[in-house]
Amino acid sequence: MTRWRALLQSPQTLFKASLSQQIVLWVFASIITIEVIILVPSVYRRQHELLQNLREISAAKASGILDMKPTYASDAELLEYISYTQNNKVVLGGRLYANGREVGTFGEPPDLTWADIVNRKTVDFQRAKARYDAVWQMSSLAAPYTLVIRHDASFVNREFYYFILRISGLVVIISIFVTGATMVILNRMVITPICRLRQDLVYAGDVISREELDPLPRFMSIPTQRRDELGEVTMAFGQMIDQIAKAIAQRKQAEKTIERLAEIGELSSMIVHEVRNPLTTVLMGLHSFRNMDLSDRARTRLTLALEESERLQRLLNEILMYAKEQTLELEPLNLNEMVTELATALRDQPGVCDRHLHLSLSPQPVWIQADRDKLKQVCINLVSNACEAVRDGETIAWSVMSSDRPGYTHICIHNGGDPIPADILPKLTRPFFTTKSSGNGLGLAITKRIIEAHSGRLWIESTQETGTTVTVCLPCLPTAPHGLDPTLVQPQNPQPGA
């Protein structure tokens, strides 16, 4: 409630917001500009009306005087009669023309000349002098006569300026009213929601950093229902908060699950350790029974017990190997030499000796930084799996080649035989998943962990046409150790997934 009260009790918020200041300023300037454009013609129209009224007054006075003149009057007498129009306070003087010839002037002479009249200039308004000269075609006289009357335009100037002041005041009042209404509406519809949203964003950042989104805090802008762009932004903000709250809840749940799994893992490791010690004692006892004189039936049972105990011991060892963190004793290795030595040793091993092991090495020495024993374990496991997948006499292709990624090399092991189903391929490296009747599903899982500890990758491809290929991608050294010539890995046969 404090945040709501602080915002609603700040009427000066509109004036502090730079956005509102710019909008209000532009609205005020736009209204002034529009009003000026519209009202300027009205000002000049008012000036024309005042001058026309002044002209009509003087013309009416001159007509009244001329109506009293003799029928046949000379030019001088006519000028004398017209001069009586000076009794009207708006008439200052005049000039009479007969057929373009100046008859004479009276009072203050007009500046409007016959040449101006010939050029169709019938009025001359001088605001600075407050003088207005106008031509009156005298209907009371014969056509040849033309009278130019000089008027006192002080009244016109005064009324003109008063009119401008009235119009300007009206424009300012209208502009202030419209601008004020715009400010109120702008504050209600734009500025206040934006300020609320801004405070909500700051508040949301604070509660997210403290992960206090359960239950969701109350935000000022989210309850507002608007059918405009600002409403869409507010709705998106609410959706974002919901998604963040769900993500944090899921992460906390995952952390609890991970903690639980870690506890289970520690418990499992402890159980494995506790089982291994008595199992070793049991194995020692069973081995001692082999020296005793037993019946065939008892010896068969003893052999079966020994086999199962040794299998259980191997399983416990593999579980420990998978569970513990992979620590590497890294050293520079010539991959071609290591693979050649290992292939020579494996060719005489059971399960491999009945297959053809074809070795293909990189044409240039390939140096890597690796743990020799663990990398040998990886290769032995992959070659053994390949040999188990084919019949006697078939070929296992084992190759070392460059990757299409600079700085990496590939170890590929290929075998024929039946393809691995596509739905099983992603599961092969999961712990305890196996397609073998006697396997425990930890071999490939341990292999993957060792490869990843070397900053490498493992992937398996299998199709009916090409068979099964297991690829190990490892980073290689850019130069050979011990000061040998640089041995950069060059791309040869790009492999998928590199």
- For residue 283, how many other CB atoms are within 10 A of its CB? 16
For residue 347, give the H/E element and its range. Answer: none
% pLDDT > 90, the chain = 4
Q: What is the pLDDT of residue 12?
A: 53
| Beta strands at 356-360 and 395-402: parallel, antiparallel or unpaired | parallel
| Distance, CA of 323 to CA of 446 (rounded, Å) | 9
Coil, strand or helix: which one is 490? coil
> How far out from the chain centre does Cα 449 lie?
38
Sheet holding 123-126, edge to edge: 101-107, 91-98, 145-152, 131-136, 123-126
Buried b (16+ CB within 10 A) or exposed e, 53-72: ebbeebbebbeebbeebeee
* Whether the Cβ atoms of residue 78 and residue 145 lie closer than 8 Å to each other: yes
| CB-based contacts of 126, cutoff 8 Å, min separation 6 | 111, 132, 133, 153
Q: What is the pLDDT of residue 16?
A: 60
Q: Which two tokens stand for residue 243?
A: 């998604």
Phi, psi of 179, rounded to the nearest 5 degrees: -65, -40
| pLDDT for residue 191 is more than 80 | no
| pLDDT for residue 470 is more than 50 | yes
| Residue predicted with more confidence, 224 or 367 | 367
Environment class of 299 (CB within 10 Å of its CB; exposed 0-12, middle 13-18, buried 19+)? middle
Whether this model's pTM surpasses 0.85: no
| Distance, CA of 395 to CA of 127 (rounded, Å) | 115
| Distance, CA of 7 to CA of 186 (rounded, Å) | 15
| Distance, CA of 254 to CA of 366 (rounded, Å) | 42
Q: Which two tokens stand for residue 242?
A: 């919901």
- For residue 146, how many other CB atoms are within 10 A of its CB? 21
Q: What is the pLDDT of residue 214?
A: 65
Q: What is the pLDDT of residue 473?
A: 92
Which tens digit of pLDDT belongs to each residue from 93-146? 888 888 888 888 888 889 888 888 888 888 888 888 888 888 876 655 556 788
Q: What is the pLDDT of residue 184?
A: 77
- For residue 495, how many other CB atoms are within 10 A of its CB? 19
Q: What is the pLDDT of residue 272?
A: 67
| pLDDT for residue 3 is more than 50 | no
